[in-house]
């Protein structure tokens, strides 16, 4: 009897599972705070050079238009006055107040003069505080020649997410899910506070990288514990439900940022909620499956019997004993595969490369659109709120259609729709930012569905023996996409629709090349490398193994690094393996 059979016997989603599941889904909200909070922590602010007669501490952004026109050159790239240069010769221009109390620019003969066309680069700036009181942009003058540092900070945050999935994943496999979950929380609390008091930009980026790594540790470990206690038929809905908690945190981030416009206080506000989860120590158990893999059989059996009892079901000790040998044996067999097995045969190699590209595109586009709020025009808070809200219908659509229409048509169709909408921004007339916003929202909705669908589609493409390895490799490419996305968004400094066009072209290309992958819905899935090579070839058919009983396929949700589930296929005979934390 395998582990899944015990879960079926005790109840797939009984009272015990519902309690643990709800408690462990809540940390997804704070992970969303940190992943999406960077949009407002480092938001762009309108700026101008400080003028010679102004005091940097008391200067206000808005001046009389005559002063502005006389002091700054016109910048064709932004379609307005330069924010990075001012005219060099301003000695004859001074500020006076006329009878109406309005500031005016006058020379000694009471006529306005425009100085010579000699320009100097600004060293000090005045910022528009009408939307944000302060951000890291105004704190460390991340404008003009230093604007690319904003992209560096966001990129390094995603490097932290990648490192965290590897480091905390390995530690949780060695020392257990439960202690690593709480250590991640403690580090997240400490790192988040250090971010808020960072004295300069380098330390700010380093502390943000640490916080990024803990988002993997907190969510992944919590997700594994929760999903390992849920029955096979309930894992798909439970996985999407957990992702909806992440979306809830996404939306709440906008509310925090709207009421807290100082970046240091905002960072504290999104960090403090982590403290509440430290009280979980008395309520959250260790993973029963991890206990089994570490030979702690008695602890695992006690935990499973306690869960069954809370669900009102009695499982005899003898029944639990049946799962130990098979679960341990399948774990040892599953660890023999390597990354090189994905490239030994041409068909499997082709599918692997296509999937790597699609994961990179999906992740890059998803995070690129999520973080591109400041470049869309209009109200940043409303744009961000809508970008988060569209994820609800996106995942609902995925639940309703994935098992009806097939994986391939969902992945290809959503990526193509997203690509067309984003490329459609090229047709939006100048001066119509709402057009960019609408198309970006539709593109975000479509890519969110695609990003959710690619997990189960990918898992079903790889043979059982290399499934975890393949998912881990794909997840690495997804993280690369997240690392690159901020730099693509930075291209909006050159031309506002530039990021949307690049994301759109990549999404469209990804959707088209996905047509080369075989459909997996209701297909007998590959188990060996040989099966994987034959799977999807028109001239050959995947033949079932002789002298072997048919395997009953079940779905297993394995967490991914950004808090969204990976749906893969496991057999009851093989049991449930430990989720590879780096995947």
Is the pLDDT reported for residue 29 higher than 80?
Answer: yes
Is the pLDDT reported for residue 549 higher than 50?
Answer: no
Which of these, 359, 372, 336, lies nearest to 466 by C-alpha position? 336
Decide which of 450 and 242 is more confident. 450
C-alpha–C-alpha distance, residues 122 and 87, integer Å: 10
Which of these, 557, 570, 5, lies nearest to 227 by C-alpha position? 557
Which of these, 473, 444, 488, 470, lies nearest to 568 by C-alpha position? 470
Query: What's the average model confidence in pLDDT over 555-582?
Result: 37
Is the pLDDT reported for residue 33 higher than 90?
Answer: yes
- Cα 216 to Cα 209, 268, 381: the distances in Å are 12, 20, 26
C-alpha–C-alpha distance, residues 271 and 278, integer Å: 13
- Relative to beta strand 125-127, strand 94-97 is unpaired
Per-residue HEC secondary structure of 274-305 comes to HHHHHHHHHCCCCCHHHHHHCCCHHHHHHHHH
- What confidence category does residue 285 fall into, taking pLDDT thresholds of 50, 70 and 90? confident
* Residue 120 CB neighbour total at 10 angstroms: 12
Query: Using one digit for the tens of pLDDT, what is the confidence trace for 326-365?
Result: 554 545 445 556 778 888 889 999 999 999 999 999 999 9
Query: What's the average model confidence in pLDDT over 4-24?
Result: 85
State the DSSP code for 260.
-
Phi/psi region, residue 312 (left: phi>0; alpha: psi -120 to 50; beta: rest), is left
pLDDT of amino acid 569: 36
C-alpha–C-alpha distance, residues 307 and 11, integer Å: 9
Using DSSP's 3-state secondary structure scheme, residue 86 falls into strand
Decide which of 193 and 325 is more confident. 193
Query: What's the average model confidence in pLDDT over 544-564?
Result: 41
Is the pLDDT reported for residue 296 higher than 60?
Answer: yes
* Residue 112 CB neighbour total at 10 angstroms: 13
Using DSSP's 3-state secondary structure scheme, residue 523 falls into coil
pLDDT, the chain, mean = 82
Decide which of 464 and 15 is more confident. 15
C-alpha–C-alpha distance, residues 356 and 358, integer Å: 6
Query: Using one digit for the tens of pLDDT, what is the confidence trace for 230-248?
Result: 877 777 677 778 888 999 9
Alpha helices in 424-544 (DSSP H): 433-461, 467-490, 498-513, 529-534
Greatest mean pLDDT among 137-146, 238-247, 555-564: 137-146
pLDDT of amino acid 378: 82
pLDDT of amino acid 323: 55
542's enclosing H/E stretch is none
- Relative to beta strand 85-87, strand 80-81 is unpaired
pLDDT of amino acid 564: 40
C-alpha–C-alpha distance, residues 108 and 482, integer Å: 57
Query: Using one digit for the tens of pLDDT, what is the confidence trace for 458-515?
Result: 878 888 778 778 877 888 899 999 999 999 999 988 888 899 999 999 999 999 999 9
């Amino acid at each position: 009897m395998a582990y899944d059979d015990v879960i079926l016997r005790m109840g797939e989603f009984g009272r015990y599972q519902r309690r643990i599941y709800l408690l462990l889904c809540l940390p997804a909200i704070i992970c969303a705070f940190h992943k999406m909070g960077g949009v407002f922590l480092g938001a762009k602010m309108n700026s101008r050079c400080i003028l010679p007669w102004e005091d940097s501490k008391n200067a206000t952004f808005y001046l009389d238009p005559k002063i502005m026109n006389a002091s700054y050159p016109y910048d064709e790239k932004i379609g307005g006055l330069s924010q990075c240069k001012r005219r060099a010769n301003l000695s004859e221009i001074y500020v006076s107040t006329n009878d109406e109390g309005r500031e005016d620019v006058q020379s000694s003969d009471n006529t306005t003069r425009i100085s010579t066309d000699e320009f100097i680069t600004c060293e000090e700036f005045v910022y528009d505080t009408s939307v944000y009181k302060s951000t890291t942009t105004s704190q460390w003058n991340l404008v003009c020649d230093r604007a690319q540092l904003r992209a560096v900070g966001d990129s390094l945050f995603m490097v932290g997410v990648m490192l965290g999935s590897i480091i905390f994943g390995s530690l949780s496999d060695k020392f257990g899910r439960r202690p690593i979950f709480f250590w991640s929380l403690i580090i997240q609390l400490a790192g988040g506070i250090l971010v808020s008091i960072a004295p300069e930009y380098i330390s700010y980026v380093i502390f943000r990288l640490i916080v990024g790594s803990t988002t993997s540790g907190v969510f992944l470990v919590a997700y594994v514990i929760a999903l390992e206690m849920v029955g096979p038929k309930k894992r798909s809905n439970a996985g999407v439900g957990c992702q909806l908690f992440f979306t809830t945190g996404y939306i709440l981030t906008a509310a925090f940022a709207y009421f807290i416009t100082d970046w240091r206080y905002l960072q504290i506000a999104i960090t403090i909620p982590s403290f509440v989860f430290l009280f979980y120590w008395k309520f959250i158990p260790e993973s029963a499956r991890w206990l089994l893999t570490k030979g702690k059989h008695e602890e695992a059996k006690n935990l499973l019997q306690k869960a069954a009892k809370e669900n009102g079901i009695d499982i005899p000790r003898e029944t639990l004993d049946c799962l130990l040998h098979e679960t341990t044996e399948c774990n040892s067999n599953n660890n023999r595969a390597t990354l090189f097995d994905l490239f030994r045969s041409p068909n499997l190699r082709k599918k692997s490369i296509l999937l790597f590209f699609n994961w990179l595109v999906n992740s890059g586009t998803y995070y690129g659109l999520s973080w591109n709020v400041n470049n869309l025009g209009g109200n940043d808070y409303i744009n961000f709120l809508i970008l988060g809200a569209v994820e609800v219908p996106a995942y609902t659509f995925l639940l309703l259609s994935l098992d009806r229409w097939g994986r391939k048509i969902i992945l290809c169709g959503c990526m193509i729709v997203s690509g067309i909408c984003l490329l459609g921004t090229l047709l939006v007339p100048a001066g119509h930012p709402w057009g960019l916003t609408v198309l970006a929202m539709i593109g975000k909705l479509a890519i969110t569905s695609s990003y959710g669908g690619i997990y189960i589609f990918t898992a079903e493409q790889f043979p059982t023996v290399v499934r975890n390895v393949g998912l881990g490799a794909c997840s690495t490419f997804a993280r690369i996409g997240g690392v690159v996305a901020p730099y693509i968004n930075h291209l909006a400094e050159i031309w506002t629709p530039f990021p949307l066009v690049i994301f759109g072209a990549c999404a469209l290309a990804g959707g088209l090349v996905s047509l080369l992958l075989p459909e997996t819905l209701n297909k007998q899935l590959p188990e060996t490398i040989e099966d994987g090579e034959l799977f999807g070839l028109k001239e050959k058919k995947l033949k079932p193994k002789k002298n072997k009983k048919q395997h009953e396929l079940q779905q297993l949700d394995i967490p991914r690094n950004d808090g969204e589930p990976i749906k893969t296929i496991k057999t009851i005979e093989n049991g449930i393996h430990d989720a590879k934390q780096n995947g």
